[in-house]
Structure 1
Amino acid sequence: MENYEEVKNIGDGNFAIVKLLRHKETKALFAVKYISRDQTIDERVEREIINHRSLHHPNIIQFKEVILTPTHIAIVMEYAANGDLFDYVCNQGKLSEDEARYFFQQLISGVSHCHDMEICHRDLKFENTLLDGRRIKICDFGYSKSRLLHSRPNSRIGTLSYIAPEIFSCKEYDGKLADVWSCGVILYIMLVGELPFGDQKDLKNPQKTVNQIMLAQYKIPNTIHISQDCRNLISRIFVANPVKRITMREIKSHAWFLKDLPKESTKGGQDVYYSSLQTIEEIMNILDEAKNLPETSSRDQLEDLAEALKKM
């Protein structure tokens, strides 16, 4: 890490901390996620690295590199300087329909790219939707799954208020359609300023929220004035049966979504590629080796592993 200097701590979680670092030579700022090099380095961490590094899109936080320290794996990423969408909407109260559509178009563009790469995010929410200026940047791929590399989703993953009904069944489900539901929750909150299912009072009674989600039971307050096209899109997203729910392709051709669509929202990622199975296996082997290295590992051992990761 001698190429970087710490600026400040910008986030703490159950399994990782995130710090803002500055590259000493270029002065560029990066967000660095530190994951303890112990039993927390599991399949989830492997999936996060493998899936995130394959995504190249203007509405997705760019993966830069992985660095090994004596105690942690450090994932270096693009830094979004303007916080997350949660703070933005909290400050605004709620957004106008035009502004909500502007952000929603970017969100869909980024999530659609993930799906084109056969990756479902599975934890889309305000806190994982960052802002760099006025540009949406999707982050945190810790719960993501690749249809090409991993088993079909079947676990109860995500944040309660954003979870699609089928996830509660504990059976296999389509992660892409579950992502569509979460995108709908984000859109609703931008427009209404409240959660569509449950509220802060219901946090102590999660079963009430679950029941509302299972029934797709929501309403748009009379005080919220939005167009019929917008109401139609929301009603087609909040459909309990995923087979009948609107698809990502259909969202992108919906009249409300297409209005004032920026040209950049129709662009895909650049230099996109699938990692070979051989490369993925090598990454997993390196991560296993990093997990098992003692904290007293020699500098040469760490540098060898770091160089191997950079060549992936």
Structure 2
Amino acid sequence: MDRYEVVRDIGSGNFGVAKLVRDVRTKEHFAVKFIERGHKIDEHVQREIMNHRSLKHPNIIRFKEVVLTPTHLAIVMEYASGGELFQRICNAGRFSEDEGRFFFQQLISGVSYCHSMQVCHRDLKLENTLLDGSVAPRLKICDFGYSKSSVLHSQPKSTVGTPAYIAPEVLSRREYDGKVADVWSCGVTLYVMLVGAYPFEDPDEPRNFRKTISRILSVQYSVPDYVRVSMDCMHLLSRIFIGNPQQRITMPEIKNHPWFLKQLPVEMTDEYQRSMQLADMNTPSQSMEEAMAIIHEAQKPGDNALGIAGQVACLGSMDLDDIDFDDIDDIELRTAGISCARCDALEWFKIFGDRLPVDGSLFCHAWVGFSSGSHIFCRQYMLISKSVS
């Protein structure tokens, strides 16, 4: 890591920490995710790196390289200075239809490219879409920890993702197509951008997980009367939110839908995207062999020292296996008017506990958010509609 100097911390989670760094030679900024060496360098980390490094698209965070430190594996990637799309919606309450379409077009462009590269994301959500710092922000898809390659793997069978965004077929024990499930998650993202709330939560009981799951399975949603949405947009949502994945609208059909094509920027057209991909083919990148060798070495435990500025101990990285959830009160986060989703998260765990990955990553994933003192709050319930009826 001698090539980079740390500028500041930009996040933390169950994976470890993320820092903004500067290349000492070029002065270019990058985001670096630090993951502790040893058992945390598992198949999810390897899959994230291998899938991410293969993707080069304007609407996907660019993978740069992996670097080994004495204590951590460092994943160096493009830095998106505009933050999360999630936070932008929290600040705005909801988007106009034109603004929602602007970001949805970019989301579909990036996801469609992933699918063309035989990669399904499987955890598409607002928190995994970042923005660059431009006036007309460019959307950037990130976090490929749950992604799968349909070339290297069979169709995914595990129940992964974030509850509010999960497609009905993912909740079953049956095999499902991750690409088709991604389409559903894109629809949830579009709905939240336009409405400022999750489509399958009961407005009267938004924290009732059991009811949310029931509404997903029965595809029970509506657009509030106070939200003005065109008929074309309503038609697109109705084609996305179809319980039978074989009848759901496909990615090519979305890209040809009248609502999607309206005000489509030239850089979103297939012709422009193909020209950009041809230009990217000559961009040098870290070889797969080198990346795999570094990952293999990172699976060996590192030094016991805290490492880079003691980041893991100081920044609240959460090991949820060590938390006694019965001791966590349902505490209101008064500054935002929301409350901790402990009961709901445990309810999800009770309902789907036998379908979770062995390491409980879905359960943990629902909790990875932010902490305040000894209290942990779930990001799943941070979204508050500021719209006025």
Q: Counterpart in 2 of 1:7?
A: 7
Q: Counterpart in 2 of 1:289?
A: 297
Shift of 1:23: 1.2
1:225 equivalent to 2:228? Answer: yes
Q: Rate the CA distance shift 1:201–1:223 in 2: closer, same or farther, 3 A.
A: closer
Structure 1 window deviating more from structure 2 (205-214 vs 110-119): it is 205-214
Give the 5 Å matches for 1:240-259: 240-259=243-262
Task: Quote the Cα distance in structure 1 between the aligned partners of 2:290 and 2:184.
Answer: 35
Task: Quote the Cα distance in structure 2 between the aligned partners of 1:199 and 1:81.
Answer: 34
Unaligned runs of 5+ in 1: 274-278, 297-312
Task: Quote the Cα distance in structure 2 between the aligned partners of 1:285 and 1:127.
Answer: 31
Shift of 1:200: 8.5
Shift of 1:255: 0.6
Query: 1:174 corresponds to which letter in structure 2?
Result: D
Q: Rate the CA distance shift 1:168–1:68 in 2: closer, same or farther, 3 A.
A: same
User: 1:270 pairs with 271, 277, 287, which one?
Assistant: 277
Task: Quote the Cα distance in structure 1 between the aligned partners of 2:289 and 2:68.
Answer: 18
Give the 5 Å matches for 1:68-83: 68-83=68-83
Task: Quote the Cα distance in structure 1 between the aligned partners of 2:202 and 2:22.
Answer: 39
1:210 equivalent to 2:213? Answer: yes
Q: Deviations over 1:165-187 (max 9, x none)?
A: 10110221000010000000010
Shift of 1:206: 1.4
Give the 5 Å matches for 1:5-84: 5-84=5-84
Task: Quote the Cα distance in structure 2 between the aligned partners of 1:40 and 1:151.
Answer: 24
Task: Quote the Cα distance in structure 2 between the aligned partners of 1:203 and 1:220.
Answer: 15
Shift of 1:43: 1.0
Shift of 1:288: 2.5
User: 2:154 pairs with 151, 154, 161, which one?
Assistant: 151
SS in structure 2 at match of 1:39: coil
Q: Counterpart in 1 of 2:121?
A: 121
Q: Counterpart in 2 of 1:107?
A: 107
Shift of 1:207: 1.4
Relative to the length of structure 2, the TM-score reads: 0.72
Unaligned runs of 5+ in 2: 282-286, 305-389
Query: 1:58 corresponds to which letter in structure 2?
Result: P
SS in structure 2 at match of 1:226: coil
SS in structure 2 at match of 1:257: helix
Relative to the length of structure 1, the TM-score reads: 0.89
Task: Quote the Cα distance in structure 1 between the aligned partners of 2:173 and 2:291.
Answer: 30
Task: Quote the Cα distance in structure 1 between the aligned partners of 2:79 and 2:19.
Answer: 10
Q: How many residues align?
A: 292
RMSD: 1.9
Task: Quote the Cα distance in structure 1 between the aligned partners of 2:121 and 2:144.
Answer: 6
Shift of 1:6: 1.0
Q: Deviations over 1:173-211 (max 9, x none)?
A: 000010000000010011111110116975653111111
Q: Deviations over 1:252-283 (max 9, x none)?
A: 0101000111110121452567xxxxx75775
Task: Quote the Cα distance in structure 1 between the aligned partners of 2:171 and 2:301.
Answer: 38
Query: 1:118 corresponds to which letter in structure 2?
Result: Q
Shift of 1:103: 0.6
Task: Quote the Cα distance in structure 2 between the aligned partners of 1:255 and 1:200.
Answer: 30
Task: Quote the Cα distance in structure 2 between the aligned partners of 1:225 and 1:85.
Answer: 21
Shift of 1:295: 2.7
Shift of 1:294: 4.5
Shift of 1:24: 1.4
